Chain A
């Protein structure tokens, strides 16, 4: 076993879960990261769940916090 997979085994993975039906189109998450929080053409969130790529965890948290409707949840799981 190489060291890389050992380290990865204890890493956390992060998911963004969005209550899409409750989105009212503030787009504040999108203002934090267009990549993590894509919008549809009407300006509402397009996705319900996003796997956060490594290195983008802080942005994901900031985007979730920016939602005035509080419909974005961050889920952290051990792999």
Chain B
């Protein structure tokens, strides 16, 4: 438990927070979370209230019950996605020197309605199920190539060998970015993932690098459109005005930060489950049509995204008094393991005929990339059981996990008979 040393400092409990709602949980460094994340979350569901306040990470509300997440996610007036109010951000930016390079912003993930919808609308068609399903052939080819590359080795580090390169390649392809730049983007993703520097200047600088890495292509597509997202985004309007280079950079950054780390962690959790569950592997090998159901249950059992919100007004939410500008964390992994919603939540049940999970969140911020993520997840699991012999976790090298806004898998060593 060396991580205990890394726990963020505890802040003092505000007067309106009753002792009964205080529970010590550092969402980045909780030692048990880093040993086995969803085991820890199942335990937390039993031992802490559905809404609790933790003194860690600057002091914040954690919404872990299903009802709390479902209602808060849909109440955008009370729970804002603008971690700093939009007007305040605009005021700060307006004071910067005019020759300062554009600071890309991940619109619309950090906007509230109605502005949210204006920026989201142009992306919806591109990420609609119909458009995404048309990409499945090329995604399958990529997945097959990555798995075939390791099959003869009898082992792989799944995250670096499959889970990370696949979505990055799909991202480049969809945006229309040159594939030669794959190493550059993989390096940026890697930096983004291993970021521990709390200084916002570091992450701003990287977002600027992400924007810079696509600028040539973005400008080129304005003159010479092709069949890709960048070209399409030049042709749409945001609230009646044509898109600008800044808009394109904002979108690029959004797709980069929201679309890569997330699905790859989903793959990591799912592949780990498969490695621990040989009977499920057998079942899916015999009947690949069951993979889609397995993907849904994996998403429920191992929900991994943890979106932050800002309490937008003083309120009493499900009996809990909260103050304006406090931080409230939508701890979705807890919501999908809530026994009130999912009986025997710890059980992976391929035929669970219950209520749908909210792994992609609820409300207007429902993950824009959910359809793409599902296709990628389905294909990876299908190709794994098709191309690999029965695989398991390398007993010599247990997996490593990470906490934070995406509860993820850092390393997953799989082995099989050559």
Contacts and interface: CB of A to CB of B under 8 A. Distances in A.
B128 A41 contact: yes
A21 to B, nearest CB: 11
Given A24-B362, A25-B366, A26-B370, A43 B356 contact: no
B360 interface: yes
Interface in B93-131: 121, 124-125, 127-130
Contacts of B366: 24-26, 68-69
Nearest to B124: A42
A44 B124 CA distance: 9
A41 B130 contact: yes
B121 A43 contact: no
A60 B355 CA distance: 15
Contacts of A30: 129
Interface string A18-60: 0000001111101100000001011110000000000000000
A66 B356 contact: yes
A43 B371 contact: yes
A69 B71 CA distance: 10
Interface residues of B, number: 19
A31 B357 CA distance: 15
Interface residues of A, number: 17
A31 B130 CA distance: 11
B364 interface: yes
Contact of A26 (B74, B125, B127, B360): B360
B363 interface: yes
B117 to A, nearest CB: 11
A74 interface: no
A66 to B, nearest CB: 6
Contact of B127 (A43, A67, A69): A43
B72 to A, nearest CB: 14
B360 A43 contact: no
A65 interface: yes
A44 B121 CA distance: 11
Contacts of B371: 27, 43
A58 to B, nearest CB: 12
Nearest to A41: B125
Interface in B209-253: none
Interface string B126-148: 01111000000000000000000
B135 to A, nearest CB: 14
B291 interface: no
5 contacts: A24-B362, A27-B371, A43-B124, A68-B356, A69-B363
Which 3 A-B residue pairings sit nearest by Cβ, starting from the closest? A43-B128, A42-B124, A24-B366
Given A24-B363, A42-B125, 16 more contacts: A25-B124, A25-B128, A26-B356, A26-B366, A41-B125, A41-B128, A41-B130, A42-B121, A42-B124, A43-B124, A65-B355, A67-B356, A68-B357, A68-B362, A69-B74, A69-B366
